[in-house]
Structure formats: structure tokens, C-alpha cells
Amino acid sequence: MKVRINKWFKVNEIQILALGFIILIMIGAFLLWLPISSRNGTYTNFFDCIFVATSSACVTGLITVDTGTHWSYFGQVVILFLIQIGGLGFMSIATLIALLMGRKITLKERLVIQQSLNSFTIQGLVKMSKYLLIFTFCVQSAGAVLMATQFVPEFGWAKGIYYSIFHSISAFCNAGIDIIGNFRSVTPYSQNPVILLTIAALIVIGGLGFFVWQEIYYFKDTKKLSLHSKIVIVSTVFLIVAGSILMFIFEMDNPKTIGNMSMKGKILSSIFAAVVPRTAGFNSIPTAEMTGPGIFLTMLLMFIGGSPGSTAGGIKTTTAALLIITVISVIKGREDAEVYGRRIRKEIVYRALVVTTLGIGIVMIATIILCMTEKPASLEYILYEVISAFGTVGLTLGLTPDLSVPGKIILSFIMYAGRLGPLTLALSLARKTIPGTIKYPEDKILIG
């Protein structure tokens, strides 16, 4: 009996990561539920607390109650800590605390850090965690200083600095939660280049991933980039440039979004609208007023998301790029996926296919369920909300505040699944893996 109990409670590093996020969310929900967290000093609906805590820890940005007007400063600071811990990974924070206490990091903890950072190897992970935290605080500080030049003159020193720090951390961690108030996000600053470009830069920096920035930093010495970094950089630039051009074309004559802006404002808002779906839910134009093509483009960008090992969500840029590379290679008659003179192993291609398939499956199932629980809402609104939750983006067409209790629970789970990643979630639920020692006879089926 004792053996069975030990076997039942034995968890691997992926399951530790999954359970860690659940514990973080529940602690955050309890703190937000306390009267000290609300501005009017009363208890907040616990389902709303769970939803907001999940959205914060999973750096999504969808909210059922307005962050700027509902929560007190204590509640906002709780949300800010959830964003920071959820964005960097709780194991990175735990590593910093352990190092400060002089405790050694065990092999088991290094394996959890590896899963948290989505690293290839466990070598040098502790040192990398330290550099990650230093890099994060430096970038966030720089972003806060830039935004303070705009917020301090408007709100005064104390409130202006607080606003700058909050939005800098939220942007770098790709959370997209704001404290401007009244669900406006950064629409009051739709033509302020300092605010929008700073937030956009923080989103891109956080969405590239620390490993890529590390290689960029040492490029002057090594004179080379890994295949991973090349694909991340090329796909990121392509998505931002193509997304900005298409968003400009789709919305340029729409008076409800950018149609009445100056050319400078149109270009600025188009770039911002192409960056935020990867995956931070700030918006400088009313998302519900966008054209059909603009909304669809946003959904596509949200589903792809950012890059592995970053604060962003989605299926990731490398996954989407690898699928396209595989398609091109097959069309060319190649046996393997090939790019930049390198052959990519089939196991990685299979992994990309599984991640995309699971992502599509999660979105489809959640959309069907929400169509039953949120009957007044249109399919477009529901699908947009689900993709936003899965991609941990936080953009909304306005459905989130009106969700039913079942709808809040469903979207909370989708945000959680999106932050962990569909494949990581599936592996965390698996009791054990079966070694592939048996090979069956080959056979054929018709494709296409």
C-alpha cells in the first residue's frame, strides 16, 4: 500500500511546473478576494478573482473587472507580482531566492528550470537564470524611465512612476494588463509615439526570448547565430512588417479605428496593432470596431504568438515557421525539412505538428462549449476570445466582462493551457511514457 501511495504522488518535472502555476494562481486569487484588494473594501466575487489571477499569472490580460478602477493599490500590486512571476517563470524567481539564501540547486530543480525556460540542456541553467533576471530588470527599468517622461507630467511623480513601472512590467511580460481605467487600455495614447513604441519594443524584447538575446549580445564575438535564433528573428520581423502593412491596408479607411488619424498616427497604430497580438493585450484602437479582415488578421497573429523560452504564448513563431518550412521542403521533393543549409530532425517536425494540432483542438472545443454557455454572443466574438486566451494575449471584442460563471472557468483553463503550452499540458497529464521498442510493419494511406 505504501508503494502505491508513493507511486501515486510521484511527479515529474513537467507536472511540478503545471502544479506550480496552479498554486501560484490560487494564492493570487485568495489575496485578490480579500477586502483589502478592492477599492471599495468589499469581497470580490471569487470566480472573478480566479479569472484575474489566472490571467495575470499566465500573462494573458483578459479581465472581468477593470484593473484601474476596481482594485486598490494592494490588489494592483498583487496582480503585478503575479505578472512578474508568471512571466519569468516561478522557478526563475525560486532560483534567485535559493541563491540568495546560499542553497544549492538540485538536479531535480534544474530539470524543472529546464522545462520552465524551454531549454535544450540543463548545463548553465542556474547562471542563465541569474542573467535572465538581471536582463529583465534592466529592460523593464529602461522601459519605465521612457514612459515616465509621459506619465509623470500627466499624473505627478508618485503616480506617474507607479504607472510607468506597472505598464513596463506588464508589457515586457507580454501580459497586456493596464491601470488606465474603464477598460480603455492605451487608447488615450493612440497618437503618443513614446508610449506606444516603448510598449511595442518591450513586447518584442520579451517575446523574442532570453536565449536569442544572449546570442545577439555575443554575436560580435562568435559571429554566428544558431538556427533557432535565425528562425525566431526572421519570423518575428516578417510577422511585424507584414502584419503592420496588412493592418494599415485593412483599417486605413475605417473612421472608427485609424481612418481619421494623420498619416503618422495611422502608421504608428498599425505597427502597434501588429505587435500586440504577439502576445500582449494592449490596444490603441477599439478592437470591436475593426474591420473583418483586421479582426481575422489579429486572430491569426494571436494564435501564432511569440517565441519559445520567452514571456509570450501561442503555438510560437518557430512552430509556425517549421510547418511552413516542411511544406516547402515536401513540395520541393525533399525527404527532410531543410533550411539555411541545415536538416531538421523529424521528431521536431512531429512536435510542431502535435503542438499546432492540440492548439487547434483546444480552440475548437472551447469555442463549441462557449457557444452553448454564452448564447447571446456571436461566433466571431467567442472565437476571438478563445484564441486570445489560448495565445495568452488579452485582446477582447468586449465579451470578457459579460462572461457567465461557466464561461469564466472555461477561459481560465484555456489561459492556463496556453501559458503551459498544449504539449506540456498533455505531457503533465500523462502518467508515464511507453518506450518505442516495438516497430510495426509499414503500410500506406492516400493523402490529399
60-89 tens-digit pLDDT: 889 999 999 999 999 999 999 999 988 876
pLDDT in tens, 160-196: 999 999 999 999 988 989 999 889 999 999 889 999 9
- DSSP of 3-55, one letter per residue? HHHHHHH---HHHHHHHHHHHHHHHHHHHHHSGGGBTTSSPPPHHHHHHHHHH
Q: What is the pTM of this model?
A: 0.89
Cα–chain center distance at 185: 17
Alpha carbons 200 and 196: distance in angstroms, whole number: 6
- Identify the sign of the CA torsion 113, 117, 122, 124: negative
Helix (H) or strand (E) holding 330: helix 317-331
Q: CA distances (Å), 361 to each of 265, 296, 329, 356, 417, in order?
A: 38, 18, 26, 8, 12
Tell me whether the omega of the peptide bond preceding residue 222 falls within 30 degrees of 0, making it cis: no
pLDDT in tens, 357-393: 999 999 999 999 999 999 889 999 999 999 999 999 9
Which pLDDT score is estimated for 4?
A: 44
Other CB atoms within a 10 A radius of the CB of residue 233 amount to: 17
280, 61 Cβ separation under 8 angstroms = yes
CA dihedral 228, 232, 234, 240 (to 10 degrees): 180
Helix (H) or strand (E) holding 339: strand 337-339
Where does the pLDDT of residue 12 fall: very low under 50, low under 70, confident under 90, or very high at 90 and above? Answer: low
Where does the pLDDT of residue 121 fall: very low under 50, low under 70, confident under 90, or very high at 90 and above? Answer: low
174, 306 Cβ separation under 8 angstroms = yes
Alpha carbons 206 and 132: distance in angstroms, whole number: 11
Q: Answer yes or no: is pLDDT of 447 > 70.
A: no
Where does the pLDDT of residue 3 fall: very low under 50, low under 70, confident under 90, or very high at 90 and above? Answer: very low
Helix (H) or strand (E) holding 337: strand 337-339
Q: Which residue has the higher pLDDT, 374 or 312?
A: 374
Mean pLDDT of the chain: 85
Alpha carbons 261 and 250: distance in angstroms, whole number: 14
The beta-strand segments (E) located in 165-310 are none
Cell 532560483 found at: 95
Q: Answer yes or no: is pLDDT of 14 > 70.
A: no
- Identify the sign of the CA torsion 59, 422, 17, 125: negative
Lowest mean pLDDT among 128-142, 360-374, 392-406: 128-142
Amino acid at 14: I
Beta partners for residue 38, in sequence order: 71
Of 322, 272, 329, 344, residue with least CA distance to 301: 272
Of 197, 192, 184, residue with least CA distance to 283: 184
Q: Which residue has the higher pLDDT, 249 or 434?
A: 249
Q: Answer yes or no: is pLDDT of 5 > 50.
A: no
Alpha carbons 406 and 369: distance in angstroms, whole number: 9
Of 142, 141, 146, 151, residue with least CA distance to 186: 151
Average pLDDT over residues 94-112: 55
Where does the pLDDT of residue 448 fall: very low under 50, low under 70, confident under 90, or very high at 90 and above? Answer: low
Helix (H) or strand (E) holding 342: strand 342-344
Of 231, 229, 212, 447, residue with least CA distance to 325: 231
Beta partners for residue 337, in sequence order: 344
Where does the pLDDT of residue 396 fall: very low under 50, low under 70, confident under 90, or very high at 90 and above? Answer: very high
Other CB atoms within a 10 A radius of the CB of residue 219 amount to: 12
Which pLDDT score is estimated for 162?
A: 97
Other CB atoms within a 10 A radius of the CB of residue 436 amount to: 6
Alpha carbons 53 and 63: distance in angstroms, whole number: 9
As given in the structure block, the three cell numbers for residue 49 are 478573482
Where does the pLDDT of residue 1 fall: very low under 50, low under 70, confident under 90, or very high at 90 and above? Answer: very low
21, 86 Cβ separation under 8 angstroms = yes
38 φ, ψ (degrees, to nearest 5): -95, 150
User: Phi-psi bin for 22: left (phi > 0), alpha (psi -120 to 50), beta?
Assistant: alpha
Alpha carbons 47 and 42: distance in angstroms, whole number: 15
Where does the pLDDT of residue 123 fall: very low under 50, low under 70, confident under 90, or very high at 90 and above? Answer: low
3-state secondary structure of 338: strand
Which pLDDT score is estimated for 220?
A: 80
Cell 546570442 found at: 215
Amino acid at 338: E
Q: Answer yes or no: is pLDDT of 106 > 70.
A: no
Rg (CA), the chain: 22
Q: Which residues are CB-neighbours of 183 under 8 A, at least 6 positions away?
A: 63, 66, 401
